Structure 1
């Protein structure tokens, strides 16, 4: 076993959506599974070389052992189907669900309802697509389960000859999108926490402070949290965040379904074409849990149960989809066009309602604690680079802490520049989430199926191209409108 494995370090993938870390890293912490076993996005060349020599033809699929890339037997405890369902639900429900009423505001109740289910179905479909491509590539290369970045590189390697030379670049590009998504999520977390603190101070204590000033209040605690280098020390905090999130969402649902105004006061059918890209961007951001799909499947005792119409993925995402619809539909019905980037900011607005303030404090606390785990991902993605160029010994730790501090300050400054939570979520959804969900998986599918064919009339090719076109269209339109709105704010 390498020194990296002994220390629990290694190159990693990411979670990419608010509270994804609460599903994977909690499991890793509780079972003492090295983080990089699930999220290897840039495996060392010598490890790959050793795997090629091992010529592993088939991996044992029971819950007690599997062969890793060094042909060693791993004895980790793998997750059951129900554990995986819980992790998938937790991994997809975060700040995105609290922005769903804003999404409905940009579409209308009927179009928003239909659109939410369509986006959810398409997101689940691309998740299945990614799983299928990963399985196919793993079979062809007789390799262990693949990460998102592995799929990117290997799909280009088996594609047309003119694309094969870009395999390494595809891996890097995928890594960059994962990195940027995590940085964006960290920024959204800062804005979310600051907005909720601002509302509590103003409504309950009568303190008149701007949200930007409230960001300064959490800067020092964020820096302290970011300096936690051992994930084991974060495990108790994540348990607290889980409980607080569940309680907070339950209270939110009670608020938005009580004393509803006449539905005729809302935009029942359709809002406007200009706002529609913002609906797609926000909804895609909320559903963008595609990066946790492969790690969760790879951690299962019975990975074959993950797919299929009655599999773990569909069961989990059905619950997520219904939850998003309920919060989005009733949140917009309750607050109309006055709904904010997080529906928690609308609860008993302008009053000192104890329950409303409690929800804001609870959700702010949960998201604040989750920042550390979301922040851990970009650190791990660049850890090997830091170790390569930083001096050895203690100075290496100093360099890492300096990098962590700089990265927190960068996310803080970006959050200060874009204080509108709703627009920030739409921007990140347009820039990165559409790419990860609707552009990359179809590209991987097209390249992987190049040698086997695309079916009658090449329908698989046309289907994948249509999904890519949709992703590009939503990405460009959403980015333009979000940027325009942010510049005018």
Structure 2
């Protein structure tokens, strides 16, 4: 569910508070360095103290969700990503991309906070942040303010549904490899069909706080699975010079798509920050976001580097598919990861359902709200199921959604928002802020156009 801010804007949260009920963060903060909207009466406005949350998440619960939101199928695809980039290029580029992704998230959250102060509202969603920023930015951008909302929503929905599709493919593919050892092999699409009802039931959980214990369980399972996987990686580790240090330039775009998909859980991270009990602790050098991203980036480099050294050019879309088929421990890893990814499906589905329900459906209904919400949740799962059945190409699907959605959502859009927030006279010495953001925009657009083209082309070729 959501809360309404003072402008009537829809934003992420858990549940609506009853009328007049307030729940303020106990975390005090100094806001005197920021200016409120011109002419606003009263003391400086702190959006964090005006959020109305019935079941906010703690710092620990938020960190758990961040780790689980990023430690999914992406980390298992990193050896395949390094196959496209080369060993050394992949290690260096993963660190750089991780830094850029984290920085852009900070830019987005910082800009969102400043706009909330100016508008004197507790929360702005990502689409509304873009709209308000464009309204206050350079004149030639202001005409795009209203159309930016459905554009950002479209990217968010597409990306999160893409993750859900990948999760279905991952779980079904790993379960099939194990099941084929003991029963008559059946098509992977049948395994997807078997998962359908449990996935629908899982998405009926409507509260992020209720999902926290499941995310914790999935984190434990994931780390156990990674540990066992790395046992096989180091058991069969080959010399480092047995694989190319630098990959083909064309394939580097596929590497970028896969890495962006793995690292940039922008929709989930924004929803988590908006739902925190102490949102001030999210940012900062030692905040929840940085702590989570440091762990994630290091793990991605570790798994990608040594996984590629071991499996080389045969590295598949998930490293679990490279493990021995006749070893019971290796087979158990596939089930472990399948369970962890299955548990995480509801968390990834939370974002598109919230956007569609609160922005486009709920305000058009007059009754039977709960019934229609459950219908939406069911239809959302059915859509991801149909897409997964139609395009069962795990590694290409990962690269496509990473390039198409996250180049824009995670890099280009935050840079555009900060330019608008700093307009007209806060760009720093020598306009370094605007120069930096223009470079980020160009980088994001290049990844979107080139990455999407190559990924779609490779998907088409794979069916021929």
2:437 pairs with 1:464 = yes
Match of 1:359 in 2: 333
CA 1:107–1:57: 2 relative to 1, 3 Å: same
Question: Does the residue aligned with 2:249 lie in a helix, a strand or coil?
Answer: coil
Match of 2:361 in 1: 386
Matches of 1:376 and 1:306 in 2, distance apart? 20
Matches of 2:209 and 2:112 in 1, distance apart? 30
- Contact 1:145–1:298 (Cα < 8 Å) also in 2: yes
Q: 1:205 aligns with which of 164, 169, 182?
A: 182
Matches of 1:460 and 1:479 in 2, distance apart? 28
CA 1:291–1:405: 2 relative to 1, 3 Å: closer
- Counterparts of 1:50-129 in structure 2, within 5 Å, are 57-59=44-46, 66-68=49-51, 79-80=58-59, 84-129=62-107
1:261-290 superposed Cα distances (whole Å, 9 cap, x missing partner): 2333322x2110110100111111111033
2:311 pairs with 1:335 = yes
Aligned-pair distance for 1:332? 0.8
CA 1:452–1:78: 2 relative to 1, 3 Å: farther
- Contact 1:146–1:294 (Cα < 8 Å) also in 2: no
CA 1:298–1:230: 2 relative to 1, 3 Å: closer
Match of 1:373 in 2: 347
Structure 1, 204-213 or 182-191: larger mean CA deviation: 204-213
- Contact 1:263–1:333 (Cα < 8 Å) also in 2: yes
Structure 1, 255-264 or 229-238: larger mean CA deviation: 229-238
Matches of 1:390 and 1:304 in 2, distance apart? 35
- Contact 1:261–1:334 (Cα < 8 Å) also in 2: yes
1:296-316 superposed Cα distances (whole Å, 9 cap, x missing partner): 445556544444444443333
Aligned-pair distance for 1:462? 1.9
- Contact 1:11–1:380 (Cα < 8 Å) also in 2: no
Match of 1:44 in 2: none
Aligned-pair distance for 1:89? 2.9
Paired residues in the alignment total 437
Match of 1:428 in 2: 401
CA 1:290–1:382: 2 relative to 1, 3 Å: closer
Match of 2:256 in 1: 280
Moved over 6 A (4+): 2-5, 52-56, 74-78, 230-233
- Contact 1:278–1:482 (Cα < 8 Å) also in 2: yes
TM-score by length of 2: 0.84
Aligned-pair distance for 1:318? 1.6
2:378 pairs with 1:405 = yes
Match of 1:321 in 2: 297
Match of 1:446 in 2: 419
2:460 pairs with 1:487 = yes
Aligned-pair distance for 1:223? 3.4
- Contact 2:76–2:318 (Cα < 8 Å) also in 1: yes
Structure 2 unaligned blocks of 5 or more: 16-20, 26-38
Aligned-pair distance for 1:107? 0.6
Match of 1:46 in 2: none
Structure 1, 299-308 or 407-416: larger mean CA deviation: 299-308
CA 1:104–1:173: 2 relative to 1, 3 Å: same
- Contact 1:155–1:448 (Cα < 8 Å) also in 2: yes
Aligned-pair distance for 1:167? 2.4
Aligned-pair distance for 1:235? 6.1
- Contact 1:56–1:143 (Cα < 8 Å) also in 2: no
- Contact 2:10–2:125 (Cα < 8 Å) also in 1: no
- Contact 2:136–2:142 (Cα < 8 Å) also in 1: yes
Aligned-pair distance for 1:367? 1.4
Structure 1, 222-231 or 316-325: larger mean CA deviation: 222-231
Question: Does the residue aligned with 2:250 lie in a helix, a strand or coil?
Answer: coil
- Contact 2:400–2:451 (Cα < 8 Å) also in 1: yes
Aligned-pair distance for 1:164? 2.8
Match of 1:478 in 2: 451
Aligned-pair distance for 1:476? 1.3
Question: Does the residue aligned with 1:383 lie in a helix, a strand or coil?
Answer: helix
TM-score by length of 1: 0.80
Aligned-pair distance for 1:132? 2.5
1:156-182 superposed Cα distances (whole Å, 9 cap, x missing partner): 121123433432322222122111111
- Contact 2:260–2:402 (Cα < 8 Å) also in 1: yes
Aligned-pair distance for 1:324? 0.5
Match of 2:33 in 1: none
CA 1:201–1:87: 2 relative to 1, 3 Å: closer
Matches of 2:42 and 2:266 in 1, distance apart? 30
Aligned-pair distance for 1:260? 0.6
